[in-house]
């Protein structure tokens, strides 16, 4: 075994929870009212519960008639690795509001937007609960507070998937959509990548690891803990064979080596960031997968038919061979391609596709997405998957809205202590870039003007990390694209 100088990786930091633009027909110019009447809520929060889901509404002093309906991201049903924080059931009307950081919300209120957000009746992969919560909160708002001139749905992560589902289902009341860092490929392709990650670790590093059909939360957690131990100890022991295996697993799922914590500017940082990304995927491939299997009645995705050797490009192969020795990549992928595969339960997979979020790409309203380039939880290639679906629907004549995709890119170097200012990490956007997305969407809807590159650059500003030239690559698993 050859040795390589790799710094220890902190388990506590393992998880931290331009653009492509296509113009189509633009909706008619909307009502330009600047002071719209409303009742109730006054200028403070309305809080309550609708069918088991907490909600919160915050009104500005002068309402511009636009309602921002926010959907939050994934919340574990049980304490989740690596931090095992208490389960959360609050109802943020805007990102950060429930954690005490209300600056973004205050800025939007000053611009005249009404803010509304809801928890979901259940935690976990609760896309159907999130959609229902959004529908009920919209109905409650219109009945009890006021009639919006415009409704913009927006959300983060799984909430981005909820957002897109709402927009596709309800173009009669949704005027614009902004899915941010969204799971735009849907549940099944994304949990499929998590399976590829756990399968790869099982085959190359941890033969006793269970990767599907978990009997309990405790069993799933034990799988994550075992995988975390193997990956971290491999780095600490400077085991180059194991590190080559880690890089092989990362290559088949396109796990970024740059994360919120690690900038990837050195070999040490690259390997540490890769391990952090893989542990993120393993958490969802074990503890998250257990809840998903319970929710949908079985194993929702398998890897039968996956060809792993074809998913490693020449640059990745050269890096793996440089660390593990000549032929390391070929040996590792041969093991993966020869391993015992996991079969999906057809009924569970069908249920997950129907109820777990599966955007069609038939965009009916102006839609702006935003993603960080280096997102280890919801990879940026989700936007490629969605863009390709959108293009297919457009060619079929099923699109009446437009799509603008924005990406932010992290600086090449940043301190590990403070992390990336933007562009790396899940949903790691500056508040200014979030406001820019809403203002661009509002201008698009109000004025019927598609935001061009100059308008986007002016709105995003120089400190957002926005890069118009960046476009993510294809989805890592061609089989997932061809079968969805």
Residue 5 lies in a domain: no
Separation between Cα atoms, residue 140 and residue 198, nearest integer Å? 43
Count: domains in the chain: 2
- Rounded to whole angstroms, what are the CA distances from 5 to 243, 267, 269, 331, 373? 11, 9, 11, 23, 28
Low pLDDT (below 70) residues in the chain: 1-33, 42-45, 482-484
The reported pLDDT for the residue numbered 483 is 58
The reported pLDDT for the residue numbered 482 is 59
Q: What is the DSSP-derived secondary structure letter of residue 87?
A: P
The reported pLDDT for the residue numbered 238 is 87
The reported pLDDT for the residue numbered 480 is 80
The reported pLDDT for the residue numbered 289 is 96
For residues 119 and 208, membership in a common domain is answered with no
For residues 414 and 330, membership in a common domain is answered with no
Q: In terms of C-beta density within 10 A (0-12 exposed, 13-18 middle, 19 or more buried), how is residue 431 classed?
A: middle
pTM (two decimals): 0.91
The reported pLDDT for the residue numbered 484 is 57
Residue 8 lies in a domain: no
Identify the CA nearest to 358 among candidates 350, 347, 368.
350
Question: What is the token pair recorded at 173?
Answer: 């009341």
For residues 261 and 120, membership in a common domain is answered with no
For residues 379 and 344, membership in a common domain is answered with no
CATH number of the domain that 44 lies in? 3.40.50.1820
Identify the CA nearest to 94 among candidates 65, 39, 149, 55.
55
The reported pLDDT for the residue numbered 96 is 87
For residues 34 and 133, membership in a common domain is answered with yes
Instruction: Give the structural domain span for 246.
Output: 188-351
For residues 181 and 48, membership in a common domain is answered with yes
For residues 341 and 364, membership in a common domain is answered with no
Residue 230 lies in a domain: yes
The reported pLDDT for the residue numbered 122 is 94
For residues 158 and 279, membership in a common domain is answered with no
Question: What is the token pair recorded at 435?
Answer: 């406001």
pLDDT in tens, 216-246: 999 999 999 999 999 999 888 889 999 999 9
For residues 181 and 219, membership in a common domain is answered with no
Residue 132 lies in a domain: yes
For residues 214 and 309, membership in a common domain is answered with yes
Q: What is the DSSP-derived secondary structure letter of residue 311?
A: G
pLDDT in tens, 25-69: 333 334 445 777 788 775 556 899 999 999 999 999 899 999 999
Separation between Cα atoms, residue 459 and residue 454, nearest integer Å? 9
């Amino acid at each position: 075994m050859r040795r390589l100088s790799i710094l220890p990786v902190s388990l506590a930091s393992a998880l931290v929870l331009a653009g492509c633009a296509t113009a189509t027909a633009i909706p008619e110019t909307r009502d330009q009212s600047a002071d719209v009447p409303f009742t109730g809520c006054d200028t403070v929060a309305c809080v309550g519960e609708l069918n088991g889901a907490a909600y919160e509404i915050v009104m500005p002093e002068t309402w511009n008639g636009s309602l921002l309906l926010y959907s939050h991201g994934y919340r574990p049903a049980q304490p989740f690795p690596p931090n095992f924080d208490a389960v959360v059931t609050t109802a943020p009307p805007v990102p950060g509001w429930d954690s005490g950081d209300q600056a973004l919300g205050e800025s939007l209120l000053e611009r005249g937007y009404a803010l509304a957000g809801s928890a979901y009746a259940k935690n976990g992969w609760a896309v159907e609960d999130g959609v229902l919560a959004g529908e009920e909160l919209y109905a409650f708002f219109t009945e009890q507070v006021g009639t919006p001139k415009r409704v913009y749905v927006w959300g983060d992560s799984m909430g981005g998937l909820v957002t897109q589902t709402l927009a596709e289902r309800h173009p009669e009341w949704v005027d614009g959509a902004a899915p941010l860092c969204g799971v735009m490929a849907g549940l099944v392709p994304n949990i499929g990548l998590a399976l590829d990650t756990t399968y790869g670790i099982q085959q190359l590093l941890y033969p006793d690891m269970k990767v599907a059909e978990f009997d309990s939360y405790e069993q799933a957690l034990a799988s994550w803990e075992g995988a975390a131990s193997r990956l971290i100890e491999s780095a600490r022991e400077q085991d180059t064979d194991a590190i080559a295996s880690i890089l092989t697993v990362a290559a088949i799922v396109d796990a970024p080596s740059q994360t919120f914590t690690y900038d990837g500017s050195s070999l040490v940082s690259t390997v540490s960031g890769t391990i952090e990304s893989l542990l993120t995927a393993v958490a969802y491939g074990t503890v998250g997968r257990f809840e998903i299997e319970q929710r949908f009645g079985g194993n929702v995705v398998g890897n039968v038919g996956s060809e792993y050797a074809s998913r490693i490009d020449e640059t990745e192969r050269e890096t793996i061979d440089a660390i593990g020795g000549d032929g390391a990549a070929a040996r590792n992928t041969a093991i993966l391609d020869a391993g015992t595969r996991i079969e999906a339960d057809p009924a569970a997979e069908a249920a997950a596709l129907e109820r777990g979020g599966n955007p069609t790409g038939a965009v009916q309203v102006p839609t702006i997405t935003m993603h960080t380039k280096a997102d280890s939880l919801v990879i940026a290639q989700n936007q490629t998957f969605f863009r390709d679906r959108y293009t297919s629907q457009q060619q079929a004549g099923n699109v009446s809205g437009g799509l603008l995709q924005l990406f932010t890119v992290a600086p090449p170097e940043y301190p590990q202590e403070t992390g990336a200012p933007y562009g790396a990490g899940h949903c790691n956007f500056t508040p200014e870039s979030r406001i820019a997305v809403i203002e661009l969407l509002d201008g698009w809807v109000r004025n019927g003007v598609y935001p061009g590159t100059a308008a986007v650059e002016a709105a995003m500003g120089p400190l957002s990390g926005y890069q118009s030239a960046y476009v993510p690559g294809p989805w890592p698993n061609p089989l997932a694209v061809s079968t969805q």
